[in-house]
Amino acid sequence: MNGGEVVVVTGFGPFRQFLVNPSWKAAQGLKLVGFGERTDIYIREVPVSYVKTQQVIAEIWQTLHPKFAVHLGVARGSSVVFLEQTGKNSGYRDKDVCGFCPESQCCVEGGPEKLDSVVNMRAVAKEFKQAGTGVIYSRDAGRYLCDFAYYFSLYHGQRRAALIHVPSSGSLTSADRLVPLLQSLIQTMLDQLEDPSETA
């Protein structure tokens, strides 16, 4: 660690047919390439468990105090990258890998129904779409562990978080294409944090 700003990148653990989750492989790839000398990158694997997800994300914000947290999830059956704008607080009915779902079907009891990232994901997606990359803006993160983790992080991190769904099929699944794209996307988000006028 060199005393720079901290960015945390998480990927998820094994899930259904994914013995090694593509989101975790992408996080490991980002750790290798980094975000420049002034940024320290930490990566964490998040179990596909509601309880453990809350523990890991609370610990990230309480102990590392990152400038920004990026959560990577996998979009099953997709060949593009989705930039999620919004995390949702309720409607979590699907069981996790432990066979559990929250009794209240809620992420933070009493929290707002939706939280948006401070980053304008539409502006980021538009910039990359114009460059011909497979990047799409989304406001529906799916109400499973990715959405749950995103909302919890937005709630604890003053909305300084992103959720990026990575593809499970197509040419962007190869690390040599996906990792540089994610690196550029996250760098664009960090630049936007520095200069909010870029969100126009």
Instruction: Tell me the catalytic residues.
Output: 84, 146, 165
Integer Cα distance of 71 and 42 in angstroms:
12
Here the tokens at position 111 are 């929290």
Report yes or no: 62 and 6 within 8 Å, Cβ to Cβ. Answer: no
Which alpha helices (H) appear in 42-130, and where do they start and end? 50-59, 121-130
Report yes or no: 144 and 90 within 8 Å, Cβ to Cβ. Answer: no
Residue that is written with structure tokens 């809350």 in the block: 54
Report yes or no: 87 and 115 within 8 Å, Cβ to Cβ. Answer: yes
Beta-strand pair 161-167/81-84: antiparallel
